[in-house]
Amino acid sequence: MASEDVYRDFIIELYKNPQNFGKIEGADFHAKMHNTACGDVIELFLKVAGGTIEDAKFLGKGCAISQASASLFTGYLKGRKADALEKIRKEDVLALLKIDLSRNPTRMKCALLPLDALRKAIKK
């Protein structure tokens, strides 16, 4: 099996069985983003304790890329310092997915929807 097929299977598995799916009541950071181009929606919830992201969850609907990205991204956020969240770059998010989206700007926007939600949440 080609490595690209393995990564596709990885994305589909996360889509079917997402990690960190759910809502955090009383979240310290919360934002909802909608991709108007395709209809994907990601709602991000973060709980902070002692300046560190204690828990991260998401609710959402959409394509496998946006949902897998949100699943991986919320795991990536756990344990990070809250004051460093604004330093997270799109390259950090794309590296989590392990697939090349550089030639597909529509899918790129789907993959970055969780990062957009984070940026909106920390601006509030």
Query: For the chain, what is the largest distance between any 2 Cα atoms, rounded to a whole number of angstroms?
Result: 45
Q: Give the per-residue pLDDT at 4.
A: 53
Q: Give the per-residue pLDDT at 117.
A: 98
Architecture of the domain spanning 3-123: Alpha-Beta Complex (3.90)
Four-point Cα dihedral 30, 59, 43, 10, nearest 10: 120
Q: Give the per-residue pLDDT at 7.
A: 58
Can you state the percent helix, strand and coil of the chain, rounding each to 5?
50, 20, 30
Q: Give the per-residue pLDDT at 2.
A: 46
DSSP 83: G
User: So where are the chain's domains?
Assistant: 3-123
Q: Give the per-residue pLDDT at 37.
A: 87
Q: In a structure prediction context, what are the per-residue pLDDT tens digits for the chain, which is 124 residues long?
A: 444 554 588 899 999 999 999 999 999 999 999 998 889 999 999 999 999 999 999 999 999 999 999 999 999 999 999 999 999 999 999 999 988 888 888 889 999 999 999 999 999 7
